[in-house]
Amino acid sequence: MSTPRPRRHDPDRRDRIIDACLDVIAEHGVAGTSHRRVAAAADVPLGSMTYHFDGMDALLREAFTRFADQVATLAERRMAAAGSLEEALDAFAANIEEDVFGTQRDLVITHELYTLAARRPEYRDITTAWMARTRATLEPFVDSTTAVLLDAMNEGLSIHRALHQHSPRPGLAREAIARLVRPAL
Amino acid sequence: MSTPRPRRHDPDRRDRIIDACLDVIAEHGVAGTSHRRVAAAADVPLGSMTYHFDGMDALLREAFTRFADQVATLAERRMAAAGSLEEALDAFAANIEEDVFGTQRDLVITHELYTLAARRPEYRDITTAWMARTRATLEPFVDSTTAVLLDAMNEGLSIHRALHQHSPRPGLAREAIARLVRPAL
Amino acid sequence: MSTPRPRRHDPDRRDRIIDACLDVIAEHGVAGTSHRRVAAAADVPLGSMTYHFDGMDALLREAFTRFADQVATLAERRMAAAGSLEEALDAFAANIEEDVFGTQRDLVITHELYTLAARRPEYRDITTAWMARTRATLEPFVDSTTAVLLDAMNEGLSIHRALHQHSPRPGLAREAIARLVRPAL
Amino acid sequence: MSTPRPRRHDPDRRDRIIDACLDVIAEHGVAGTSHRRVAAAADVPLGSMTYHFDGMDALLREAFTRFADQVATLAERRMAAAGSLEEALDAFAANIEEDVFGTQRDLVITHELYTLAARRPEYRDITTAWMARTRATLEPFVDSTTAVLLDAMNEGLSIHRALHQHSPRPGLAREAIARLVRPAL
DNA sequence: AATGAATGAGACTTCATTCAT
DNA sequence: AATGAATGAAGTCTCATTCAT
């Protein structure tokens, strides 16, 4: 009979599907993310998909929510270690250059989320919350306008990184931050 | 019976398809851009699509190329009118706040392009050329590092605009620009 | 209105499709064998086709494999009954004249297979295996060169039968066989 | 303006199309032979196709007719040089082994024709005439039954050649012919 | 006489979802 | 609770043919 898929009792299958969904998004874009592909990536029967999730949209929401949370958490940890303005700005620069968009995968997923949110307001709670957390990590150290500008620069530089062949010159992020944070005269 | 489509001889049909494609992208995203939808939007028979374009990809390329060119041209015109550093920076701020992402439509299309380019290198020539033109408008006035940072801020602020419910406070772009342009001491 | 197809649970649907495929090949040729036609012939929804088979090619392979197997099995049975050289050669002649290409349908399908295999090597395992089985039925009775020649004559006469208006004169196959089998001097 | 295809006045364009059609048949089979592909292969505008030929069928008929004529003519020339039975049989063997199916291209086209004729009687005049010419080359030397059998063996051996990986052992055709031609006792 | 443009039919395939088991 | 089978809609693309020029 050739072992007919013995699975059964597979907790964290739901989790696995969400992770697989992010992989598929990174590879094929939201456009190319189908139940079939995610099921294959998660090694889960197709019928499982609509059993666990109400539809593609529900799955996308969960996937992007998890992604944003993971990235934001990492950023928070980095920033939490900073004891001074100087250290905070260094940490923020490191975030830009290393963590957040360190991998092409994360960068692609981020853009897929932005694009989805740009067109469909119902996804904006995810991006809004994410950006709020990012700014919150800065607010112990700088005023609110500066925090907004630093976050904008964060986005801007990572777009450049995504869309250029050659990497930006090292230190660019730190330089941008230095200019944006006006020294008290 | 609804006139059985007598058309024939329809010059600039190709052009019309490209414009319709941008409309469809704005409304449904690249994900939702199908031959059918574009054909309907351009009021053209379905068979026309693959007659004029080698496939969806070729059409997307042409559409995004046209879009980027239009937006860049507009920016160039604005900047060309500037006679001093001050005027140039004002114009650049106006670009950010009014033109480029003045409409939700343009903003959505821009993000769709960025997302596509992030995942698929073969679209990056479009974004690279666009950014180069944007930077070139600045370079009569500021050094090259500053130009890069201003362009990054341009992107960053427009992302924020795209992804937030409430508009940013007026003057934010101008403030950001002022901080990034180092005054000659 | 016409009952909206309540089907569901239709085991051996896969089998039915394969049989229908052979019918379609016989009527329209491989050239004219489309998912649509086979689906209609098997009374199965179009979507069923690519659900059960990876594509037209996979379906053709299965269909031709089944066909070759059926024909070869029939030939083997006939030959197995032979107890002497004489009986074996009579049986082989009967094969040529009656069974194998007895019907126009089988003959057409055979040629479609040959043609496909001539152009595309990946189908040659089917024809090679079929011919090997045919020769194997002869080898208890004649040497290997003679077996090859008898098989070739088998093919040659059936081509003639396929491509001529008038049937060949009866007994021609038996005569050919007699000449090819060298009497031990 | 980039030379807008200066053609005009292109005699033997019709001829060129027919030859191109045979090339396309060899590569893609009758199934894959479309106006478009033939037009491309002949470097002729698409509109030219239905201008010169009444449809695919008319073109196929002309192409196969030309092909059969060429092959038959070659065989006739070879046989015409024979002065004795021995020489004639040698020439016939050479035909089988070298000319007729010397190239995979010719072999494939031949099978495409046979298959078409097997299913559609209106093509059988081509095959019937071809075979008649082949037999006619033999009839100065052997009786009519023998001529039929030799021709059948011709077909049979070439099928084997088409459908096997390894070439048949050299001399097989000559051996087959020797057996079929009964020595006058 | 010749052809580029046009188009509706139909090819294969992928899909989200439903449902009997 | 879980899933393999099923299916109609819609996707992209190719095609033979028509027709205005």
Structure tokens at A173: 């992020």
Shortest distance between the Cα of A2 and any Cα of chain B, in A, equals: 39
What tens digit of pLDDT does each residue of B11-39 get? 788 899 999 999 999 999 998 999 999 99
Residue owning tokens 């024809």: C127
* pLDDT confidence of residue D184: 46
Partners of D26 on chain C (C-beta within 8 Å) are 119
Q: What is the pLDDT of residue D161?
A: 83
Query: Considering only residues 37-66 of protein chain D, which place a Cβ less than 7 A from any atom of strand E?
Result: 44-48, 51
- On the question of pLDDT at D95 being above 70, the answer is yes
B185 pLDDT band (50/70/90 cuts)?
A: very low
Q: Would you say the C-beta of A47 is within 7 Å of strand E?
A: yes
pLDDT of residue A76: 93
**Average pLDDT of the residues of chain B:** 87
Q: What is the mean pLDDT of residues D146-162?
A: 91
Predicted confidence band of residue D8 (pLDDT cuts 50, 70, 90): low
B3-27 exposure pattern, b = at least 16 Cβ within 10 A, e = fewer: eeeeeeeeeeeeebbbbbbbbbbbe
Whole-number pLDDT of residue B3: 44
pLDDT in tens, D116-132: 998 888 899 999 999 99
Select from B115, B168, B179 the Cβ nearest to the Cβ of A111.
B115
The DSSP code for C83 is -
Q: Please answer yes or no on whether B155 and A151 come within 8 Å at the CB atom.
A: no
Residues 42-81 of B, Cβ under 7 A from nucleic strand E: 44-48, 51-52
Q: Looking at residue A166, what is its pLDDT? A: 72
Using the predicted structure, report yes or no on whether residue D5 has a pLDDT greater than 50: no
In this prediction, residue B98 carries a pLDDT of 74
Structure tokens at B56: 């969806």
CB B104 within 8 A of CB B62: no
Spatial distance between the Cα atoms of C60 and C68, rounded to a whole number of angstroms = 12
CA C44 to chain centroid? 25
Average confidence score pLDDT of chain D: 86
| Cβ atoms of residues D158 and D96 within 8 Å | yes
In order of their start, the domains of chain A are 13-181 (1.10.357.10)
Spell out which residues of B between 147 and 176 contact strand F, using CB within 7 Å. Answer: none
Distance CA A46, CA A94 (A): 41
pLDDT digits (tens, 9 = 90+) for A110-137: 999 999 998 888 899 999 999 999 999 9
Could you tell me the CA-to-CA distances from B181 to A83, A168, B92, B141, B165 in Å, in that order? Answer: 29, 19, 12, 10, 29
Mean pLDDT, contiguous 10-residue spans, chain C (185 residues): 52 88 93 91 89 91 95 92 92 80 81 91 92 93 93 91 77 92 62
In chain D, the residue whose alpha carbon lies closest to the alpha carbon of C157 is D152
Strand F nucleotides where any atom sits below 7 Å of a protein CB: 2-21
Cα separation, A154 vs A100, whole angstroms: 9
Q: Which helix (H) or strand (E) holds A113?
A: helix A104-119
Query: What is the separation, in whole angstroms, between the first and last Cα of chain A?
Result: 80
What residues contact B13, with CB distance under 8 A and at least 6 apart?
A: B42, B44, B48, B52
Which contacts (CB < 8 Å, 24+ apart) does range A129-134 have?
A129/A68, A130/A68, A130/A71, A130/A72, A131/B160, A131/B163, A131/B164, A133/A72, A133/A75, A133/A76, A134/A72, A134/A75
| Mean pLDDT across B49-56 | 90
Q: Which two tokens stand for residue D114?
A: 């046979």
Cβ–Cβ under 8 Å, residues D49 and D35: yes
Q: What is the pLDDT of residues A26-53, one digit of tens each?
A: 999 998 899 999 999 999 988 889 889 9
- Closest approach of chain C CAs to the CA of D56, in angstroms? 13
Q: Which nucleotides of E are covered by protein (CB under 7 A)?
A: 2-21
Radius of gyration over alpha carbons of chain B, in Å?
19
Q: Which pLDDT band, with edges at 50, 70 and 90, does A3 fall under?
A: very low
